[in-house]
Amino acid sequence: MKLALPFRRKYEAKLPGFGLTLGLSMTYMTLLILIPLSALVLYAAKISFGDFARIIFSERTAAAFKVSFFSSFQAALFNFFAGLVIAWVLTRYKFFGKKLLDALIDLPFAIPTSVAGISLATIFSGNGAIGGVLQKFGIEIAYSKAGIVIALIFIGFPFVVRTVQPVIEELDRELEEAASSLGANYYQIFARVIFPSLLPALLTGFTLAFARGLGEYGSIIFISSNMPYESEIVPLLIVKQLLQFNYEGASAIGASLLICAFALLFCINLLQNLMKRGREK
């Protein structure tokens, strides 16, 4: 007869060679992510609080943060809805050219952002294919704040699509059929059955697109006028500070942008955990 000892813990190996794989993972994260980011934070920590506040709350820096945050939010909000529609079409429908469309979703990941900026500036300029038509109605996209939003939409929509698409594929169709059998119409099924299940993934994609937009540089500088106090973004301001050998100013602004990105990711993870606990209850 075997007695179960209360102090004996049951150990189950989650992954063969866990110690080795964990060590490699931590080494990779440390060398490529933690050390560079820590160097930025440590250099910014050398600046006195007064100088740091003076740099961050200066009129030009505040204007650049306003442009970056507002443009990134607009682009992420557009991708929130457009990404949902695209992911739904790719998952629920079969049509000619579906695989090609699915491959094009990852195109912003593959091409250099500078190439995307040049292409968008060419298309939306006053003599471009789309910009020329819009200019007849008094709408200017290139070299304006609208151009920044267009560029951020282009580089951000894959985050929403690729985050939501696997969730749609795993949705239980039986729940939709059950709701339909109880008399719910299509809109009620989507609002009460489908959308609540997709909301965490949508929020994750929204936050990733938002955070990506805050740090975008290459695609924006070609389609924006880059005017200080008007259309100057934070990454461009950091580059200008570096070109002027103002390393303190560049590190202070860069550290602030890094903190904002971490705060966004922390908030979305916290919100996801709260929503998960709410569903479990």
Q: What is the pLDDT of residues 30-74, one digit of tens each?
A: 888 888 888 888 888 888 888 889 999 999 999 999 999 999 999
Q: What is the pLDDT of residues 84-106, one digit of tens each?
A: 999 999 998 888 988 999 989 99
**For residue 58, what pLDDT is reported?**
92
Q: What is the mean pLDDT of residues 255-261?
A: 88
Q: Is the pLDDT of residue 278 over 70?
A: no
DSSP 37-100: HHHHHHHHHTS-HHHHHHHHTSHHHHHHHHHHHHHHHHHHHHHHHHHHHHHHHHHH---TTHHH
**For residue 78, what pLDDT is reported?**
96
**For residue 15, what pLDDT is reported?**
54
Average pLDDT along the chain: 85
Q: What is the mean pLDDT of residues 105-132?
A: 88
Q: What is the mean pLDDT of residues 182-206?
A: 86
**For residue 1, what pLDDT is reported?**
47
Report percent pLDDT > 90 for the chain: 30
pTM of the model: 0.84
Q: What is the mean pLDDT of residues 116-137?
A: 87
User: Domains of the chain (ranges plus CATH)?
Assistant: 47-280 (1.10.3720.10)
Sequence-distant (≥ 6) Cβ neighbours of residue 56 within 8 angstroms: 62, 252, 253, 256
**For residue 194, what pLDDT is reported?**
87
Taking each helix axis from N to C terminus, what angle separates 145-169 and 113-124, rounded to the nearest 10 degrees? 120
Residue 81's pLDDT band, with cuts at 50, 70 and 90, is very high
Identify the CA nearest to 167 among candidates 208, 199, 210, 206. Answer: 199
Q: What is the pLDDT of residues 132-163, one digit of tens each?
A: 888 888 888 888 888 999 999 999 999 999 99
**For residue 21, what pLDDT is reported?**
78
Is the CB of residue 101 less than 8 Å from the CB of residue 90? yes
- Position with higher pLDDT, 4 vs 136: 136
